């Protein structure tokens, strides 16, 4: 490799490095679906990310039903959402929320960016009856 080629390659690598952000946020695609009275779902892609900033891109694929998305860090991987007796909702007061996207009309989308620490997170919809109908998934955050 001659001198000019060597410096050209080095300059190209330097420019490529400068164009990258100092940190890159993980992106989690969240698909919510289901109508009242039927099975509902909340799917994450991917279901495992590295610790640090993560952007949740939420899409409500329901045709008539409103949904929301809440992210909470669990104390242990097997912890379940604590239910409010007789209300058919998770007791959010007993959990530490990392943020939420509220009031997603049918077909709408939203976004949330949160700084996640290693552990297991519960991602769910807390509109009455939706958690019990299947609108929850766990996200694993690795160091």
- pLDDT tens per residue, range 125-135: 999 999 999 99
* Both structure tokens of 70: 């809440």
Whole-number average pLDDT of the chain: 87
Quick one: pLDDT at residue 9? 43
The reply to whether 4 falls in a domain is: no
Quick one: average pLDDT of 13-18?
A: 44
Quick one: average pLDDT of 43-72?
A: 97
Domains of the chain: total: 1
The reply to whether 52 falls in a domain is: yes
CB 116 within 8 A of CB 52: yes
The reply to whether 10 falls in a domain is: no
Paired with 91 in beta bridges are none
pLDDT grade for 33, boundaries at 50, 70 and 90: very high
The reply to whether 14 falls in a domain is: no
CATH, residue 52: 2.60.40.420
Quick one: pLDDT at residue 52? 97
Does residue 1 surpass a pLDDT of 90? Answer: no
Quick one: average pLDDT of 11-29?
A: 60
Three-state SS string across 101-118, please?
A: EEEECCCCEEEEEEEECC
The reply to whether 70 falls in a domain is: yes
The reply to whether 8 falls in a domain is: no
The reply to whether 15 falls in a domain is: no
| Torsion over CA: 100, 125, 95, 119 (sign) | negative
State pLDDT tens for residues 70-113.
999 999 999 988 999 999 999 999 998 999 999 999 999 999 99
The reply to whether 56 falls in a domain is: yes
């Amino acid at each position: 490799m001659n001198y000019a080629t060597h410096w050209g390659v080095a300059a190209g690598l330097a420019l490529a490095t400068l164009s990258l952000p100092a940190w890159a946020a993980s992106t989690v695609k969240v698909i919510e679906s289901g109508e009242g009275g039927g099975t509902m779902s909340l799917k994450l892609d991917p279901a495992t990310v590295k610790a640090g900033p993560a952007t949740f891109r939420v899409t409500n694929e329901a045709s008539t039903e409103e949904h929301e998305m809440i992210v909470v860090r669990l104390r242990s991987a097997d912890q379940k959402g604590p239910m409010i007796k007789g209300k058919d909702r998770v007791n959010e007061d007993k959990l530490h929320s990392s943020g939420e996207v509220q009031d997603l009309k049918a077909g709408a989308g939203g976004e949330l960016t949160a700084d996640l620490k290693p552990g297991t997170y519960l991602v769910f919809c807390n509109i009455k009856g939706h958690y019990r109908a299947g609108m929850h998934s766990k996200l694993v955050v690795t160091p």
